[in-house]
Every structure is written in structure tokens, then in C-alpha cells.
Amino acid sequence: MSDSADPMLAHGREVLASQPFSVMVGADLAAPVATSEYKINYLRPAIGDTLIARLGEGS
């Protein structure tokens, strides 16, 4: 997939890229471990020169 169509969009693949490494490390552990979940709610495309992510209460 090329970003040249719309260079102003941020994609979830940056987050998804770390998932195979998490699975690889988890498969190598002998003891049970807690799991985590990635969840992204896309409300609208990010536009402009700067992308700022904030974590607030209730998030």
C-alpha cells in the first residue's frame, strides 16, 4: 500500500507493526501472562502538518 495517495493520513499499521513481535515474545514465555488489546476509534482523518495524540481521563 502506498502513502502517495494521501500523505496527510495516519494509518493503524504503525500500531499493527508491533503485534508480530508481541506474539513472538509471548510464545517463548513458559508462564502464563496477561494480554493487552489495541483499539483505535477513527473519528475523522488527521489533516495538517502535525499529528498530536492526547490521552485524557476516561480514555
Contact of 12 with 51, CB cutoff 8 Å: no
- pLDDT, tens only, 16-34: 777 777 777 777 777 777 7
Q: Where are the domains of the chain?
A: 1-59
Q: How far apart are CA 22 and CA 26, in angstroms?
A: 6
Confidence of residue 5 (pLDDT cuts 50, 70, 90): low
How much is the mean pLDDT over the chain?
70
Confidence of residue 58 (pLDDT cuts 50, 70, 90): low
